[in-house]
A = this chain, B = another copy of it.
């Protein structure tokens, strides 16, 4: 009779997949709002409800963590990964709430562009999360990190140019205040994807 080792709990991976998918869902709705700026209030409410689902998944992960003795990787990393994913969605939610709050009449071209980069970063992040299941074997995960870093650089360039343009061309101080903040939030959502990529990279390294 063989000794049965206590199996590490694989369910965490499924919960992370669910959380990452929910982030992608939020990003998809952000792009939809930006590309078709109608029914704004209803679309914003829907994004807030996606964000709320995200909070519930995060909460479930923390609760599971408190009850689980053997985890598939470091407890602290599980916690960081979960709140990192949560942060992305928080920023997406903050962006659209602010657009409604500030009575933005139409998104700028740069804002639409940045929203699309958020979606692509969220998708790459979700794929890296899925690769975590096989972190001892996977060679594919690196290309997601590289792509996320590339997207972050691209977004950085776009938001910087947009802010410089704002100070040069916009004469209404109110518009400058509103759009400067919106660009910063859009860029931060992408930075948060990069943070998650860095957390995953750390987990992969430690468990190599």
Chain B nearest CB, measured from A37 CB (Å): 18
- Bound state CA distance, A97 and B157, in angstroms? 12
Tell whether A164 is near chain B: CB-to-CB under 8 Å: yes
Tell whether A62 is near chain B: CB-to-CB under 8 Å: yes
Copies of this chain in its oligomeric complex: 3
- Bound state CA distance, A7 and B160, in angstroms? 48
Nearest B-chain residue to A173, judged by Cβ: B173
Nearest B-chain residue to A170, judged by Cβ: B174
- Bound state CA distance, A43 and B150, in angstroms? 24
Q: Which residues of B contact A164 (CB under 8 A)?
A: 101-103
Is A160 within 8 A of B101, CB to CB?
yes
Tell whether A73 is near chain B: CB-to-CB under 8 Å: no
Q: Which of A116-124, A138-146, A176-184 participates in binding chain B?
A: A176-184
Q: Which residues of B contact A206 (CB under 8 A)?
A: 66
- Bound state CA distance, A102 and B62, in angstroms? 42
Tell whether A57 is near chain B: CB-to-CB under 8 Å: no
**Chain A residues packing against B (C-beta within 8 Å):** 62-63, 66, 97, 101-103, 160, 163-164, 167-168, 173-174, 176-178, 180, 202, 205-206
Known: A62-B202, A102-B167, A177-B180. 4 other contacts (CB 8 A): A66-B206, A173-B176, A173-B177, A174-B176
